[in-house]
Structure 1
C-alpha cells in the first residue's frame, strides 16, 4: 500500500514520513509490508488510508499542477471526509492524522464493547444490491428500505442492532450492526424484493450505526480542540449530501457521521445536479470509482490510486475534472 508512491515521488515520501512522525509509530512499514491482519484493524487502516490519499493529492498538486480551488465540490465517503477537508484547506494534515487515529482507536474500542454486549457476540457490515428503480422513484425506494430496516430493528431481541449505514448509490445500500440483526434485516429486504445479492464487508468494526456511540462521543471531545477553517471549495456533508455552511457545521458533522448514515448517493446527485460530469476519485480503493461509473456511465471518472494511475491520468485530471471524490 503506497510503496510505489513512496519510491516514485519525493512529495509522497515526505507525506508518508510525516504520518510516522505525527502518529509516533511506524505506520509506513505496516502499509508497505503488512501483516494484513494488523493493517486492516481500523486503528491502523484509517490513518493509512488518509496518508495514502493525501500523498496522491500532493503529487497531483506538486507534479501535475492540480488546483483544488477550481473544483466545484469535494466529497469524501466516511473517513474520506477528512481527506476532503485537508484537500480544501479546512483541516491541517497533521491534525487530520491525529483525528483519524483517535477515530480508529475509539471505533475499535466501541466494537469490543458492542461484541461483549451482543447476544451473539458478533458484529457485521453487509452491502446489498438494490434493484434499479424507475425514473424518479429511487428516493421513495430508499425511504421504504430504511423503514423496513427500522421495522426489523423494533422486533429484534434486546441487544441486537441493525441500521442503514450507507446509501452508496441508487442500487447499493450497506447495513451495520450485530451479526444477527444484519442477517435478519437482510433476509427481510430480500424477501420483500427490496434487495438482492449481498456481500459481507471485510471490516473490523460496524461503522455508522449506534454501536459506535462511544466513539462518536470521543470524537466530539477531540474535535472540540482542533482548528478548522472555511474550506476553499464546497465540501459535501456525509449526513445531508449538501455543502457544509460553517466551521461549527463541519465539527458537528464529523462527530455525527460516526453513528449516522452516509448519504453518498445524495452527495453524488447534489454535485451532478450542478452540472458536474467529470470526477477525480483519489484514494487506495476503487469503490467510489465503481459507484460513480455505475451511477453515471456517461460521465468521465478518473481513478487515482497508484503511481501508474498518476502517470496515466494526472495531466488530464488536473486540467478537466470538476469534482473531487475521496
Structure 2
C-alpha cells in the first residue's frame, strides 16, 4: 500500500515575498501570520512580505519565517492533502514537522526557533566559521578531505549535511573548510563551493548553542505525534515525545542525515512526498535519490495557492 510523507524545508528556502499569495488566498494562513507576529513581538509578516532581504537572511529571522510559512501551508491545505504516514524536516524543518504533527504548539516553536537562530549565530562569531558543499564525492573521500584539513590546520571541519548521493556539506572553522576544499580537489571532487551562511551549523562548533538551547527545549511541552517523525540526527522513525525532544537537542551540533532519512522512507514504502513550505529543494532531492534507486515516486512542493493544481 502506498504511503505518504510530509517534508519540511530548512534554512536557505527563504525569499522576500514568501507567503504573501497564500495569506491573501487563505484566511487560515493569515491567522498563522498574526499568531507569529504576536508571539515574537514584531512584524515578522511584514519582513517576510517586504524584506529587506539582508534582514530576512539573518538566522534569527530566517528560522521563524520558514517555520511560519510551512505552518501557513499546513493550516490552509491539510484537509486537502493526503494524510501523512511519516514526516521529516531538514534541520530547522524538524520544528515545522513537529508542529504539523501536533507535538509542539506553534507559538512555542516560533519563539524557540528564533532563539535557536540567535544561539547558533552567537556560538561562532561571523567570519570564524564556514560551510561548503562538496559535489560528486563519496563519503569516504569527503571524510578523508576533512581529516587532512583538520590535521594540517589544527582546526575543526566535519561533514554536516548528508543531503543526497554525492551531495555532502561540510562545516567548521573557516581556514579548515578552505583547506578541505583544496584537499577535495586532489580526490576528484567534481565541484566545491562555499555556502552563503553566517555560521558553521551542525558541527561541533555549535556545542555552545546546544548548551544554551537544551534547558529551553526541556521546558517545552511535547506531545505524541499523529505519525512517526524521521529525525535528523539518527535518521530513525520516532514517536516518543521525550525522544523527539532529545533529537532536537542533539541536532544542533549533529549532522543532518537527510540521505539516510529518505532511504528509510523509501524502504518503508513511501511513494508520495509532499514538501510543505517555501522552495522546492527537498522535492528535488527526493526525485534524484529515488531515481538512483530505480524507484518511481511522486514528489510535490506546496507553498503557494497555485500549487494546489498539482492535486488534479
Structure 2 length as normaliser, TM-score? 0.88
Indicate if the aligned counterparts of 1:124 and 1:182 stay in contact, CA closer than 8 A. yes
In the TM superposition, residue 155 of structure 1 has moved relative to its aligned partner by: 3.0
Is the partner of 1:288 in helix, strand or coil? helix
Q: In structure 2, how many angstroms separate the alpha carbons of the residues matched to 1:282 and 1:145?
A: 31
Say if 2:23 is the partner of 1:6: yes
Say if 2:238 is the partner of 1:221: no
Q: In structure 2, how many angstroms separate the alpha carbons of the residues matched to 1:78 and 1:124?
A: 17
In the TM superposition, residue 130 of structure 1 has moved relative to its aligned partner by: 2.1
What's the counterpart of residue 324 of structure 1? Answer: none
What's the counterpart of residue 256 of structure 2? Answer: 262
What's the counterpart of residue 95 of structure 1? Answer: 108
CA distances 1:152-173 after superposition (whole Å, capped 9, x unpaired) = 323323xx32111100011200
In the TM superposition, residue 198 of structure 1 has moved relative to its aligned partner by: 2.0
Say if 2:97 is the partner of 1:84: yes
Decide which moves more: 219-228 or 299-308: 299-308
Say if 2:143 is the partner of 1:146: yes
In the TM superposition, residue 227 of structure 1 has moved relative to its aligned partner by: 0.3
Q: In structure 1, how many angstroms separate the alpha carbons of the residues matched to 2:286 and 2:182?
A: 27
Say if 2:147 is the partner of 1:155: no
Q: How many residues align?
A: 291
Is the partner of 1:163 in helix, strand or coil? strand
CA RMSD of aligned residues (A): 1.6
What's the counterpart of residue 118 of structure 1? Answer: none
Q: In structure 1, how many angstroms separate the alpha carbons of the residues matched to 2:304 and 2:172?
A: 33
Q: In structure 1, how many angstroms separate the alpha carbons of the residues matched to 2:305 and 2:276?
A: 12
Decide which moves more: 170-179 or 121-130: 121-130
In the TM superposition, residue 98 of structure 1 has moved relative to its aligned partner by: 1.3
* Structure 2 gap ranges (5+): 1-17
What's the counterpart of residue 282 of structure 1? Answer: 276
Say if 2:308 is the partner of 1:302: no
In the TM superposition, residue 104 of structure 1 has moved relative to its aligned partner by: 0.8
For 1:1-326, what aligned pairs fall within 5 Å after superposition?
Answer: 1-62=18-79, 64=80, 66=81, 68=83, 71-112=84-125, 115=126, 121-131=127-137, 141-157=138-154, 160-193=155-188, 195-297=189-291, 298-309=296-307, 311-313=308-310, 315=311
Q: In structure 1, how many angstroms separate the alpha carbons of the residues matched to 2:190 and 2:121?
A: 30
Q: In structure 2, how many angstroms separate the alpha carbons of the residues matched to 1:107 and 1:61?
A: 31
Q: In structure 2, how many angstroms separate the alpha carbons of the residues matched to 1:53 and 1:263?
A: 21
Is the partner of 1:293 in helix, strand or coil? helix
In the TM superposition, residue 209 of structure 1 has moved relative to its aligned partner by: 0.8
Is the partner of 2:193 in helix, strand or coil? strand
CA distances 1:161-205 after superposition (whole Å, capped 9, x unpaired) = 211110001120001122211111122122112x32123322222
Is the partner of 2:91 in helix, strand or coil? coil
Q: In structure 2, how many angstroms separate the alpha carbons of the residues matched to 1:201 and 1:147?
A: 20
Indicate if the aligned counterparts of 1:73 and 1:233 stay in contact, CA closer than 8 A. yes
CA distances 1:5-28 after superposition (whole Å, capped 9, x unpaired) = 111110000011110001111111
